[in-house]
Amino acid sequence: MKKLITFMLVIAVVVLFFLFKLEDSESTEIKESNDYVNPNIDIIDKEIQRDTTDYTSPYIYLIDRKTGSVVHEKNAKEKAYPASLTKIMTAIVALEHINDLSETAPIDIDTYKKMVARNSSMAGFFGREKVTYRDLLYGTILSSGGEAANSLAVHIAGNVDSFVQMMNDKADEIGLNDTRFTNPEGLHNENQYTTAFDMAKLLDYALDNGHFKAIFTKETFQTTSTAEHPDGILLESSVLKFLNKEEQNGFEIIGGKSGTTSEAGQCWATLGLVNGHEYICIVMGAPLKDIRNPDRAQIADTLKLYTKAKSNI
């Protein structure tokens, strides 16, 4: 009996010893698990933090003209409405068919009335006013004048429809595969569409034309004297007037074209300089709650994007 009790005590000690070792082993495994650092966490964080900037515009394309490198894109090949960015195509098609910018090209009265009736943005010319092609071009780009754009169309092609065909032919020629135009002024039409990618490609093409670049980068322009406007009209860039140098730290936006409709939202196409490089920045579709009191989110996005371009050099 004494031997049996001794044997049972030995067995109990052995069992307790193994139970203690097992508990200690589990505790150690838990500690090792809690202290474990995933070697990929830093990489994952860097991927997430690569660009945490909050952009309002749903369609964005920012490219270095010299190198062709894309700095930032967002839904760049998705369909968007161009609004008055359309006038970039209007101006370059017109320029390629004008021999003398000083030639008189009066405001077309029929399209003038249509633009007034549709509440288009206007440069300020009157119907039949005897302005020049140069006046029309600056009125189209700087002031986004619907009467200027349509007058260019009529004088170049004879009528608006024929000019629109020229716009679409040019789009095909330079490879704008997701772009179609129905008018030269940019008023909304569901069949007039583009992408941020195509718009950047169009602007890059247009900027190779010296006359276009001069117009696109002009801050103000005084039109020629006419009977209706003896002192001419002071036209002002619808982009550059909203910018100041304090906002442009390390870069400079030197030209641009704006576009706004309820359907298209707030759009900007700009040319900027960063460390000697020219950049094209397209932002489109920033929501527009009140067209009379826009929040100008496209401007905030544009400034953020040029800041990003600066940091990437």
Six token digits for residue 115: 């633009």
Q: How many CA atoms lie within 13 A of 59 on its CB side?
A: 25
Q: What DSSP string runs through 121-190?
A: ---S--TT---BHHHHHHHHHTS--HHHHHHHHHHHHSSHHHHHHHHHHHHHHTT-TT-B-S-SS----T
In the chain, the N- to C-terminal Cα span, in Å, equals 90
Neighbours of 155 (CB within 10 A): 20
Beta bridge partners, 222, equal 234
Q: Catalytic annotation on 102?
A: no
Catalytic: which of 144, 151, 237, 238? 144
Contact predicate 257/239, CB 8 Å = yes
258 given a catalytic annotation? no
Known catalytic residue at 144: yes
CA distance 225 to 135: 10
The bridge status of strand 277-286 relative to strand 234-236 is unpaired
Catalytic residue chosen out of the listed positions 87, 170, 201, 304: 87
CA 124, 120, 288, 182 dihedral sign is negative
CA atoms within 13 A on the CB side of 237: 22
Tokens of 293: 């009191």
Among the listed residues 57, 74, 84, 114, the single catalytic one is 84
Going across the sheet that includes 265-274, the strands are 70-74, 59-64, 277-286, 265-274, 252-261
Q: Is 213 annotated as a binding residue?
A: no
223 Rama sector, left if φ>0, alpha if ψ -120 to 50, beta otherwise: beta
Other beta carbons within 10 Å of 270: 27
The helix/strand/coil state of 245 is helix
Give the residue ranges of the annotated binding site for substrate: 257
**Residues marked as binding?**
257
Catalytic residue list: 84, 87, 144
